[in-house]
Structure 1
Amino acid sequence: MSESLGSAVRGAPQTTLRHQLAELRGPAVVPRPMDARALAALAANPGCKRRALLDGAGVDKAVLAERLGSPAAYGQSQFAIMRGNAFEAKVKADGGRELLRLLGVDDAAGVEVPDLAAAGPEGRAARTALALREATEAGAWTLLDHPLLALDVAGSPVFLEPDAVVIGPDGRWTVVEIKSFPMIDGAADASKVGAAARQAAVYVLALERVAAVTEGARVARSVLLVCPKDFSNLPAASVVDVRKQVSVTRRQLDRLTRIEDIAAALPEGLTFDVETCTPEQLTEAVEAVPHAYAPECLAACELAFHCRERARCAGAVEVLGRSVRGELGGLTTIGAVLDAARGQDGDGGTPCSGEAESSGEDDPTVAAVRRARALRAEALEAGACL
């Protein structure tokens, strides 16, 4: 019988991280690869060890959430996926003629489109890196259709697949993002463009890893966003500056705790095997890994509904949002905030007195909460008099 995950991490250095994560995921469970969308969401919440571990282990969080009784209302519909695939095929038809036209290249016949096929993700990533170097040395327009890039995240390799990368004669590498949401009068929905920019920033970081060892290469800090024009199916393009997103994503990814460090703190025998574990066992396993819930998770994580329910049951201030959580400092529960506002102790009943009361008054957070309560009372009293 194989050793437990905790024992493997602590006492068997020869066991690779990949084997540890396979044990955590379940030996018979096929790993779910992490994509740029998931990585961008993870970078937006680097304090969530739960998501970092589950994504690193390749656990299907949608299936896990369903087994926990909190199915996720997250992800694209099949219709949206089919529409996006059809639009991407149109943009890349005839050797990418439409895409190259948007880049200002009139003669698509002279553009190289190398074959990137190879065995396994490691092979495809190596073939992509070779194609990038060859295109840069050749000094000619080159289109890489669905290249595969590798990026180290918290000590674990992640393989990313952008829609396209274009290499110019000057050695400039440009990420191309093809989306099916419309660009009306030259502008698209700001929230969707922002999400696309955060996703593209992950590709830029992965390209920079290859460019660092490629002479003459430089990665553009702007990406080409291609969307349907107005209400038609004709492609239109917009250049999106992603310098801010690249900087933020790099900083957030650097903050991520290494996955082996998270795994080392787990109880022995812990597993997220959705095929063999009962819902009760899965709940216990999930709760053993710290999380950092925020309302923004509802739009980016399949486990968000489960984490929200647990945070609500615990009365955690995280359910009110990150900004509120930051303002409240050491007051970590809604009950503690209400008690502080009423001048009560942390147990929710008796008034504070003596040293405890003095300590509360000295706390600027407690003082601000009490001041807010006093202002609310004054406003309600003034409203009642009108």
Structure 2
Amino acid sequence: MPPPRKQETALRQRLAELRGPEVPPKALDARALAALAANPGCERRALLDGAGVNKAVLADALGSPSAFGQSQFAFMRGNAFEARVKADGGAELLRLVHERLDPGAEPPAASPVSVPDLAAVGPEGRAARTALALREATDADGWALLDHPMLALDVAGSPAFLEPDAVVVHPDGTWSVVEIKSFPMLDGSADPAKVGAAARQSAVYVLALEEVAARLDPAPDVHHRVLLVCPKDFTNLPTAAAVDIRKQRAVTRRQLTRLTRIEEIAGSLPEGTCFAPDLPQEQLTTAVEALSATYAPECLAACELAFHCRARSRTEGAVTSLGRATRAELGGLTTVDDVLAAAHGRAGDPDDPAVAALRRAAELRAEALAGAGLPGSAPEGVPCR
């Protein structure tokens, strides 16, 4: 077996070949990792993200442009709000951290606050500088604010570099993650879906921060509660809430552990496979289809290739296009044709609970339509809506 360093070099070369020799890699971020962990069975996303392929550009080249992403207005508004939160050396941010996460500690205003310089060359250099700053701040026994630190997290055998909004070191040496969002908190509460997405994103940061902590002796504790900072009501004033991310952290760690290693997926591809966006559309389509995908409607909010995968899923009649919950209820019935055949008694084991439920549903539907004086059933092959 080749030494680990040679294996890593060979993997980087292979991923560069897949991406295209002249195409720079697109770095993974926490949002992508949270979405990747939510769909661990999708080899297509795992490899493309691991290889640094820009999926938005790839989707354009495939003829299925993506509408996924943040608007320029929302991006500018978020940056303006974050700048306000971190103004004056992060005084307001640290006040919120003290109030929501560590009220028993000495107030940040009562002692000097360290704001270390995290500048370095490249993501590897910034990650090393962040680790050193965390070590120094932990030994200093005071408050420290790390603005946009760089953390590294191993994902399917490849490092992903992540940049949380902030990490705070408390006087007792513990660490906590701060996530700043531009959606409002109205009367102390925010949109549950947006809070859930922020919690999953923060869980990725916590996992990466725990890897840094594990290399220190003794290892500092990383808070399982993160601080979510948002605008208060309809103003631009910051407010905050502590969010417990233990569940999201456990789920994310489990899903990332289950991911197939990238080198195994890359090794299964035909020789010469490449995802460079300047290749002919037919060649790109063949390359993308060589990777198995697990599409679900949730992908539309998390993946740039969702429209392409949805079209393919519908063409194949896959039940996953109806949602993961529906797919789970249908057991071994993997296509819409299989479901309709089972419902009409043309296929399927009658003792299978899914088949029995489908046939009972078809009977009830026919009875309801007959009672209303309507045709007893829809034409075969046309699903109920």
Q: Which AA in structure 1 matches 2:88? A: D
Q: Which AA in structure 2 matches 1:274? A: P
- Structure 1 segment 106-121 matched on structure 2, within 5 A: 106-107=108-109, 110-121=112-123
Which residue is equivalent to 1:42? 36
- Structure 1 segment 5-154 matched on structure 2, within 5 A: 15-104=9-98, 105-107=107-109, 110-154=112-156
For 1:232 and 1:211, locate their aligned partners in 2 and report how far apart those are by CA, in whole Å: 37
Which residue is equivalent to 2:360? 371
Q: For the Cα contact (< 8 Å) 1:129–1:210, is it kept in 2?
A: yes
Q: Which AA in structure 2 matches 1:379? A: A
Q: Which AA in structure 2 matches 1:100? A: L
Q: Which AA in structure 1 matches 2:247? A: K
Runs (5+) with no aligned partner, structure 2: 1-5, 99-106, 375-385
Shift of 1:109: 6.3
Q: For the Cα contact (< 8 Å) 1:96–1:108, is it kept in 2?
A: no
Q: For the Cα contact (< 8 Å) 1:175–1:223, is it kept in 2?
A: yes
Shift of 1:187: 1.1
Q: Which AA in structure 2 matches 1:262? A: I
> Of 250, 255, 267, which aligns to 2:253?
250
Shift of 1:120: 1.1
Shift of 1:188: 1.2
- Structure 1 segment 353-372 matched on structure 2, within 5 A: 360-372=349-361
Aligned alpha-carbon RMSD (Å): 1.5
Shift of 1:13: 5.5
For 1:138 and 1:13, locate their aligned partners in 2 and report how far apart those are by CA, in whole Å: 39
Q: For the Cα contact (< 8 Å) 2:42–2:292, is it kept in 1?
A: yes
The reply to whether residue 327 of structure 1 matches residue 329 of structure 2 is yes
SS of 2:292 mapped into structure 1: coil
Which residue is equivalent to 1:223? 226
Q: For the Cα contact (< 8 Å) 1:100–1:108, is it kept in 2?
A: no
Shift of 1:46: 0.5
Q: For the Cα contact (< 8 Å) 1:95–1:108, is it kept in 2?
A: no
> Of 179, 182, 186, which aligns to 2:181?
179
SS of 2:235 mapped into structure 1: coil
Q: Give the length in aligned residue pairs.
A: 360
For 1:56 and 1:130, locate their aligned partners in 2 and report how far apart those are by CA, in whole Å: 27
Which residue is equivalent to 2:379? none
With over 3 angstroms needed to count, the CA separation of the structure-2 counterparts of 1:109 and 1:71, relative to structure 1, is: farther
Shift of 1:363: 3.1
For 2:204 and 2:30, locate their aligned partners in 1 and report how far apart those are by CA, in whole Å: 6
What CA deviation, in whole Å up to 9, does each residue of 1:56-114 have, x standing for no partner?
Answer: 01111001111111111111001110111111111111111111121233517600001
Shift of 1:360: 2.5
What CA deviation, in whole Å up to 9, does each residue of 1:14-56 have, x standing for no partner?
Answer: 8521111111000100111010011000000000000000000
Q: Which AA in structure 2 matches 1:54? A: L
Q: Which AA in structure 2 matches 1:184? A: L
Q: Which AA in structure 1 matches 2:357? A: A
What CA deviation, in whole Å up to 9, does each residue of 1:124-172 have, x standing for no partner?
Answer: 1111111111111111110000000000001110000000000001111
User: After alignment, is 13-22 or 109-118 more displaced?
Assistant: 13-22
For 1:143 and 1:363, locate their aligned partners in 2 and report how far apart those are by CA, in whole Å: 58
For 1:156 and 1:15, locate their aligned partners in 2 and report how far apart those are by CA, in whole Å: 11
Q: Which AA in structure 2 matches 1:253? A: L
SS of 1:188 mapped into structure 2: coil
Shift of 1:184: 1.3
SS of 1:150 mapped into structure 2: strand
For 1:13 and 1:110, locate their aligned partners in 2 and report how far apart those are by CA, in whole Å: 47
With over 3 angstroms needed to count, the CA separation of the structure-2 counterparts of 1:108 and 1:154, relative to structure 1, is: farther
